[in-house]
Amino acid sequence: MSVDSSVDRRDESQTAGNGNGNGVVTVCNRSIYSSQRLRLNRNEAHQSENYDDLDLDFNSSLYGKLEQYLPPNMLTVARDVKLEFMKEILDRYLTEHDRIRPLHKQIYDMHPTTFFVPSFIKAITENTEESLRSIISEPSPGVYTFEMLQPDFCELLLSEVESFEKWVQEAKFKIMRPNTMNKYGAVLDDFGLETMLDHLMNNFIRPISKVFFPEVGGTSLDSHHGFVVEYGKDRDYELGFHVDDSEVTLNVCLGKQFSGGELFFRGVRCDKHVNTDTQPEEVFDYSHVPGHGVLHRGRHRHGARPTTSGHRTNLLLWCRSSVFRESRKYQRDFPNWCGECLLEKKERQRQSVEATKKELLKREGEPMVSVIP
C-alpha cells in the first residue's frame, strides 16, 4: 500500500485552516482534528514516534511513515492522538481487501538465531578481522562470499514475498519494481520489512564492510534499499551489465531450484571510468548457492546470466553511506578503489621512473663537474 493512493490529495492550503491558528496544538480533542487532511508532501525532517510496542492492524513502520504526512499542527500532539487520527484515515480508505497482513510475523523483527547460521553469528559477535576472515572467502579481489541464512528462514521469506505478490495481484495494486532493470521482484521496505533490514545493515553488514570496504564508506553505511529479484519462467530472465546505486551490496540467494543465473563481475570503476575495458584479472563468475551471501562494492561492475531453468529468488540490500557520498563531492584526487584510476596512476609512475632513468643515463655520459668549495 502506498500512502499516496489512499489519502485525499488536496491542496496543502486546505490542511492549514482548521480554526486553531498556526500555533502548536496540545489539546487532545478528536473533533479538532476530524476535519484535518494529510499533507501532500511528506515532512522527511520530522522524527516520527515509535509504534513498535503496539499491536496494530498494520506494520508499525507504516504509522511512522504516515505520521510524516500529518498536518503541521498535529506533529506535536500526543502519540495516541496521532495514532487515532491515522487509524481513522486508514479505516476510512482501506477495505478489508486492501489490507496486507503478514503471513509470518516472526520475520518482521530481527531474530539472529533463527535467521542466520551459527558460524555467521559467531563471527559477527566476536567482531574481529580474524573471526570474519575465518568464515568469509574472497574468490576474486573485492568479492566476498559466506554462508549466511538458515534454510528455514529462506523458505519463510520466499513464502512471505509470494503472499505479498498474490495480494498485490488480487487488489490490483501497482507496486514499484526494485530498479529500472527488473520487471519482477518487490521492494521489501514497502511491505514492512524496513526495520528488520535496517537492523541487518547496522548490526551485521556494517561490521563486515568496516573491515573489507572502509575506503567506500563501509564504516558509515546509514541507509538501504532492500528488495528481492526473481528469475525463471514468468519472471525475469537475466540482468544486464551494471553498477548498483550503493556503496556496498549484499546479495543472498534464497533459492529454490535453478540452473544458470551466475553473477559475472568485471572490475570496480568510478563514474568517469564506468565504461572502460576489463582487464583479464578482473573477470570473475560466481554461481549462487541458496543461503550464501555475496558482498561487493556497488561500483563493482556486474550482471546476472540467464536463469535457464527453475526459479531463482535473491535478496538484495543496497547499503549507502551519506557521509561517503558527501565527501566524494569534494574529493579531487583519484579514488583508490577504481581499477582504471589505479592503472592510470601506475602508468604515470612508470613514465616518471622512465624519464628519471633517461635523465640519469644522459648525465652519466656528460663529464663530471667538480664543485670547489
Ligand X SMILES: O=C(O)CCC(=O)C(=O)O
| Site residues for Fe ion per CB under 5 A | 244
Nearer to ligand X, 145 or 251 (CB): 251
Identity (one letter) of the amino acid at 254? L
Among 251, 252, 258, 267, binds ligand X (CB under 6 A): 251
| # residues contacting ligand X (CB under 6 A) | 9
Count of CB atoms within 10 A of residue 119's CB? 14
From ligand X, Fe ion, none, which one binds at residue 263 (CB under 5 to 8 Å depending on kind)? ligand X
Among 74, 316, 319, 341, binds ligand X (CB under 6 A): 316
Contact 83, 50 (CB under 8 A): no
Contacts of 207 (CB under 8 A, 6+ apart): 124, 127, 132
239 binds ligand X (CB under 6 A): yes
CB of 342 to ligand X, least distance (A): 23
317 binds ligand X (CB under 6 A): no
Query: How far apart are alpha carbons 69 and 67 in whole angstroms?
Result: 5
From ligand X, Fe ion, none, which one binds at residue 229 (CB under 5 to 8 Å depending on kind)? ligand X
Contact 119, 150 (CB under 8 A): no
Residue showing the smallest CB distance to ligand X in the complex: 304
247 binds ligand X (CB under 6 A): no
Contact 192, 350 (CB under 8 A): no
Residue showing the smallest CB distance to Fe ion in the complex: 244
Nearer to ligand X, 107 or 252 (CB): 252
Helix axes 79-93, 60-67, angle to 10 degrees: 100
Nearer to ligand X, 67 or 244 (CB): 244
229 binds ligand X (CB under 6 A): yes
46 φ, ψ (degrees, to nearest 5): -75, 130
CB of 179 to ligand X, least distance (A): 6
Chain center to CA of 217: 14
Nearer to Fe ion, 244 or 282 (CB): 244
Nearer to ligand X, 263 or 341 (CB): 263
Nearer to ligand X, 1 or 239 (CB): 239
CB of 282 to Fe ion, least distance (A): 16
CB of 213 to ligand X, least distance (A): 16
| Closest by CA position to 85, among listed 31, 45, 42 | 31
Nearer to ligand X, 46 or 235 (CB): 235
Helix (H) or strand (E) holding 313: strand 307-320
CB of 297 to ligand X, least distance (A): 12
DSSP secondary structure, 198-246, as one string: HHHIIIIIHHHHHHH-GGGTGGG--EEEEEEEEEETTSB--EEEE--SS
232 φ, ψ (degrees, to nearest 5): 130, -165
| Residues at the site binding ligand X, with contacts judged by CB under 6 A | 229, 239, 244, 251, 263, 302, 304, 314, 316
